[in-house]
């Protein structure tokens, strides 16, 4: 029988983290979920709490942590713009001190460590679509900088711990991901549009809605994340994980209205500052190294997510 890996997931009570914990438990690992519950919730992991191979620790990653583990997935960090801009100094500290603390732990116990980085390291990109070699166009002093620069600095620490201390690192750059367990009030576009449509409220498109994003369904993302952790020795990344299907926010709003059969109408609101105009991953590296590519089309993923929000909001159809 395969030995049980002891796996630490920081940010494990969040949207992506809780799906990752599910997957790791299903595969027979011994999982420690660490979270300060800033944007995550015990509801996301409630079904795991009685499992003897699952342990929840309420802890802030800006403080050191001493546990014995074989693998670390570092996901702790608020991810939606309203949440990460709520306390920008704390966001940067979470990214940077969190990375340093987890890298120190990885170094001490000899664990492999994966960083949940982001397409935001490319900023408002001038190169389109974005390959991993693109160095980005990030405003260092804007409202998104706490997150973008925090994540960039975390990547720097990962590589310096790797070069200086031979820490076994894996970096993935996650592009916009959506699915069940998104927080309905965290302000991200997919959850906002679906909740607004289900409540027959106005759909708030920012700017003229011509900015684009590429949306990856959560199951595809988690598959890519686990494959990255299990990838060959010496492959550090960074690797893009995302769905190359690219949509304008206006077309997303129209698609959500169609799928929910909502009576909502689209209204336009000011574009937030530094909002990237376009985003699409090049995923050739993930295909080659991880034999990974997304399998769930936007319409299918949205349908599953709509079903989740209908249940959450108690909407009977």
Q: Which residues bind ligand UDP (CB under 6 A)?
A: 80-81, 176, 188-189, 192, 204-206, 211, 213, 249, 271-272, 275
Among 71, 94, 192, 243, binds ligand NAD (CB under 6 A): 94
9-33: burial string, b at 16+ Cβ within 10 Å, e else? bbbbbbbbbbbbbbbbbeeebbbbb
Choose the one of ligand NAD, ligand UDP, none that binds residue 72, judging by a C-beta under 5 to 8 angstroms depending on kind. none
Report the residue number, 81 or 224, with the smaller CB distance to ligand UDP.
81
Among 24, 38, 169, 279, binds ligand NAD (CB under 6 A): 38
Element (H, E) at 31: strand 30-35
Report the residue number, 14 or 33, with the smaller CB distance to ligand UDP.
14
- Report the C-alpha gap between 255 and 266 in whole angstroms: 12
User: Segment contacting ligand NAD (CB under 6 A): 74-82, 198-206, 230-238, 300-308?
Assistant: 74-82
Any alpha helices (H) in the chain, and if so which ranges? 15-26, 81-86, 88-109, 145-165, 189-198, 218-229, 249-260, 284-290, 298-312
Which one from 97, 122, 147, 161 is the annotated catalytic residue? 147
Output phi, psi for 310, to 5 deg: -60, -45
Choose the one of ligand UDP, ligand NAD, none that binds residue 149, judging by a C-beta under 5 to 8 angstroms depending on kind. none
Shortest Å, Cβ 202 to ligand NAD: 24
The tokens describing 221, both together, are 């993302």
- Report the C-alpha gap between 8 and 115 in whole angstroms: 12
Q: Got the DSSP string for 199-210?
A: TTPPEEEETTS-
- Report the C-alpha gap between 292 and 160 in whole angstroms: 27
The tokens describing 156, both together, are 């720097």
Among 9, 33, 65, 76, binds ligand NAD (CB under 6 A): 76
Shortest Å, Cβ 9 to ligand NAD: 10
Subset of residues 96 to 155 that bind ligand NAD, contact rule: CB under 6 A: 98, 116, 118
Has 147 been annotated as catalytic?
A: yes
Active site residues: 147
Chain contacts with ligand NAD (rule: CB under 6 A): 10-11, 13-17, 35-40, 60-62, 75-79, 94, 98, 116, 118, 174, 176-177
């Amino acid at each position: 029988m395969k030995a049980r890996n002891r796996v630490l997931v920081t940010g494990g009570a969040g949207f992506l983290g809780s799906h990752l914990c599910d997957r790791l438990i299903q595969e027979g690992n011994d999982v420690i979920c660490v979270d300060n519950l800033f944007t995550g919730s015990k509801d996301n992991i409630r079904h795991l709490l009685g499992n003897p191979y699952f342990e929840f620790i309420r802890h802030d990653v800006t403080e050191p942590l001493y546990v014995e583990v074989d693998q670390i997935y570092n996901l702790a960090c608020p991810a939606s713009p309203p949440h990460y801009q709520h306390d920008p100094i704390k966001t940067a500290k979470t990214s940077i001190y969190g990375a340093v603390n987890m890298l120190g732990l990885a170094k001490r116990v000899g664990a492999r460590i994966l960083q949940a980085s982001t397409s935001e390291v490319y900023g408002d990109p001038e190169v389109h679509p974005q390959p991993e070699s693109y160095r980005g166009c990030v405003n260092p002093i804007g409202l998104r900088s706490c997150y973008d620069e925090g994540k960039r600095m975390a990547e720097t620490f990962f590589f310096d711990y790797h070069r200086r201390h031979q820490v076994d690192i894996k970096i993935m750059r996650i592009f916009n991901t959506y699915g069940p367990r998104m927080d309905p009030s965290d302000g991200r576009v997919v959850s906002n549009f679906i909740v607004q449509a289900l409540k027959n409220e106005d759909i708030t498109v920012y700017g003229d809605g011509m900015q684009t994003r590429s949306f990856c369904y959560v199951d595809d993302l988690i598959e890519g994340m686990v494959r990255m952790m299990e990838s060959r020795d010496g492959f550090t990344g960074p690797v893009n994980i995302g769905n190359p299907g690219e949509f304008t926010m206006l077309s997303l709003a129209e698609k959500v209205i169609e799928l929910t059969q909502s009576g909502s109408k689209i209204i336009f609101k000011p574009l937030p500052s530094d909002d990237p105009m376009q985003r699409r991953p090049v995923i050739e590296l993930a295909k080659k190294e991880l034999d990974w590519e997304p399998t769930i089309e936007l319409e299918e993923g949205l349908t599953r997510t709509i079903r989740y929000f209908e249940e959450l909001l108690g909407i009977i159809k």
